[in-house]
Each structure stands twice: as structure tokens, then as C-alpha cells.
Amino acid sequence: MSATISREVVRKRFLMCPPRHFDVTYSINPWMRPEKPVDAALAFSQWEGLRDLYVELGHTVEIIEPLPGLPDMVFAANGATVVDGRVFGARFRHVERTAEGPAYLSWFAERGYREVRWPEHINEGEGDYLVVGRRILAGTGFRTDPRSHDEAQEFFGLPVIGLTLVNPEFYHLDTALSVLSDDEVMYYPEAFTPGSRAVLEEMFPDAIRATAADAAVFGLNALSDGRHVLLPDAAVNLKARLRERGFEPIGVDLTELLKAGGSVKCCTLELRD
């Protein structure tokens, strides 16, 4: 199968936040154990590895300066959702992260983005909003308020399809599903309600289904440029499935950041402008 499909790279622009103040000092998801030490230097060099890889692959990486006291700010995916140059801001569920919303929004406002919305309802940016071609998949269940889905649909003028998460280990949509191209995804069915699973089967009958082992190493927290798929290195089954479909999986080590419940996708906000 792989030999017959030619996968073209789509050049992308990303926003990333260096983990200069990264730590696990509170727990807002089951991965976070403040009693377990974090190796800050290792976290930083792992993050640099991801940034360098994007640049080597021909993508552009913009940087937002991290703020002290916001140890999760490294997870740039949560900072906003950007489609057609329109910036839909994030409004965090937990007080520990609320200051990140305005910090990210200012970054956009200062750089001349004109359609910038401070949201009415709680939503955690691309953690729960994933763009597939001209449709947006929208997670809820743990973080994003389902009322935000209507707000996002009105703001972007694109169909927003709600999906409900049920397993607290997969608390954001981007921990349970990743977008591979304009019409392909991979996901972990057990992370969703039966109704949402049926919706995914209807929309993406040929999708790659992740195993429990893939999901447990955060294998779905991946970033695809249409050809390369960057994902946690330990997701061995997913890497094999991706190769069968003609993708080039690239394993990345972000084990220190996983101590906060984040990996490749969480560190990456896509600037679709």
C-alpha cells in the first residue's frame, strides 16, 4: 500500500513556548504527580529537539516567551485555535492556567492579527479543537464547555463536530485523536462515548485505530505535516500502521513533558494564516 501513495509535505507555521518555567507543581490531570521530580534541563533539551526537528523538516517556528508561575505554558496547543487567520482565544478550566489565555491572546494581538476573540465559554484551544480540512472536531467532557462548540462554529463559519471524551487520562481531544491529513485521522475509540465513537466511524471509516498501549504512551498526541508524523517514540504499533499508509513516522522523546500530561501536539500550536 505504502509504495502507491505519495505523501506531500504541507509547510506549516507553528507557535511554541520554551519550557523555561516548566515544572509539575499541581495536578489537574492523572499524569501530573507533583511529588515526582522533573528534570528541567532534560525537559528543555527534549523540547529543543522537537523545535529543531520542525525546522529541519522545513517548517517555521514562532516563539512566545514563557511567563514565570505558569509551568504548563509550554503546552502552546492550548493557547488558542487559529483558522484562516482568525484567532479564537482560550479560556482555561483550571485557575492554575487561567493567566495563559490572555498571555497567548496578546501575542496574537501584538502581531497584527485583527480578528482576535476573547471567548465567552471555557475552551482549551487546540487541545480540544482539531482542524480536519474544512471541518473542526471539538472535544468536551473534561475541559472545553460544550457551549464553546457553537461559539467556535459561529466565529469560524466552519462545521464544528462535538465529540465527548470519557477517560480522564485522555482529557483533551488531542490526547485521543490526531489529524493526519485533510481527511484522515487516527484515534483511540475507548476514549470516547459510544455515540461519539459512532460519529467517528461514520466520518472516518478507514481511520487508524490506536491500541490501548499506543494511547497509554500518548501516541495520539502527534503532529502530521501530511507526510511526516511526529509522535512519541514508544508508540510502536501506531508507527507501523502509519508506515502502511505511506506516512513517515518520526519518534520523538518528550518523556519529561509527559509528566505533566503533554507531548508533541500539546507543545505545538498551528498558525493557519
Catalytically annotated residues: 172, 266
CB 186 within 8 A of CB 206: no
140 binds ligand ARG (CB under 6 A): no
Site string for ligand ARG, 168-187 (x = CB under 6 A): ----x-xx------------
Q: Which stretch binds ligand ARG (CB under 6 A): 44-52, 81-89, 226-234, 257-265?
A: 257-265
Closest approach of ligand ARG to the CB of residue 264, in Å = 10
261 binds ligand ARG (CB under 6 A): yes
266 binds ligand ARG (CB under 6 A): yes
Closest approach of ligand ARG to the CB of residue 173, in Å = 8
219 binds ligand ARG (CB under 6 A): no
**What is the β-pairing status of strands 13-16 and 269-270?**
antiparallel
Nearer to ligand ARG, 165 or 180 (CB): 165
Q: Which stretch binds ligand ARG (CB under 6 A): 145-153, 180-188, 204-212, 260-268?
A: 260-268
89 binds ligand ARG (CB under 6 A): no
Nearer to ligand ARG, 7 or 38 (CB): 38
Q: Which stretch binds ligand ARG (CB under 6 A): 132-140, 203-211, 222-230, 258-266?
A: 258-266
Count of beta carbons in the 10 Å neighbourhood of residue 194 = 10
**With CB under 6 A, what is the number of residues at the site for ligand ARG?**
16
Q: Which residues contact 143 (CB under 8 A, 6 or more apart)?
A: 92, 93, 122, 123, 124, 127, 128, 171, 172
Site string for ligand ARG, 9-28 (x = CB under 6 A): -------------------x
Site string for ligand ARG, 99-138 (x = CB under 6 A): ----------------------------x-----------
Q: DSSP per residue over the chain, as a string?
A: -GGG--PPPPP-EEEE---TT----S-SSTT--TTS---HHHHHHHHHHHHHHHHHTT-EEEE----TT-TTTT-GGGGEEEETTEEEE-B-SSGGGTTHHHHHHHHHHHTT---EE--SS-B-GGGTEEEETTEEEEEESSSS-THHHHHHHHHHTS-EEEEEB--GGG-SGGGTEEEEETTEEEE-GGGB-HHHHHHHHHH-TTPEEPPHHHHHTTTTS-EE-SSEEEEETT-HHHHHHHHHTT-EEEEE--HHHHTTT--TGGG-EE---
Nearer to ligand ARG, 72 or 214 (CB): 72
77 binds ligand ARG (CB under 6 A): yes
Amino acid found at 139? G
91 binds ligand ARG (CB under 6 A): no
Kindly list the residues in this chain that would bind ligand ARG in the complex (CB under 6 A): 28-29, 32, 72, 75, 77-78, 97, 127, 172, 174-175, 260-262, 266
